[in-house]
Amino acid sequence: MAARLGRDDHDDLSESSEINVTPFIDVMLVLLIIFMIAAPLSTVDIPVELPVAVADAPERTSDPVFITITEDLGLSVGETETDFDRLYIDVGIATGQKRDTRIYIRADKSVPYGEFIRVMNVLRADGFLKVGLVGLDEAVMEQAEGGARSGTEEP
């Protein structure tokens, strides 16, 4: 940093060779504030309560193909019991080797996620990419439980 030691009264309007850093500092502070505000908004880890999307169930074909995974990890295609080694064969028979057939997977809620993915991998490897997941609609379950409770109560 430079300092002027002598004072010349007659050179008040003379050129100064010092850099004026005040505008530079102002710009840097504005950029700092912009980045401080924008950085947290660009992260994905922001907790958000998303609304529940309730969509109408898609139309089912007249003869859907269901793969069921039971609580004891048993497999069945339709009504035919099978295992992982024969799964692709039984699915091929049930669909008539039509790879564009939609397949529905029903799994007990206690089935480990890894076993579910194992079934999905067998289907994908065999070329069946249209896979639907079957679950219970919460609103229908609440109505059924409410109806069962109201039907069993004595007046």
104-145 pLDDT, tens digit per residue, is 888 888 888 888 889 899 989 988 888 888 877 766 666 666
Quick one: tokens of 144? 């059924």
27-51 pLDDT, tens digit per residue, is 999 999 998 888 776 655 555 555 6
Give how far Cα 11 sits from Cα of 2, 7, 15, 20, 45, Å: 18, 9, 9, 19, 60
Q: Are 106 and 134 in contact (CB under 8 A)?
A: yes
pLDDT band at 18 (very low <50, low <70, confident <90, very high): confident
Burial-class residue 67 by CB neighbours within 10 Å (0-12, 13-18, 19+): buried
pTM (whole model) above 0.75: no
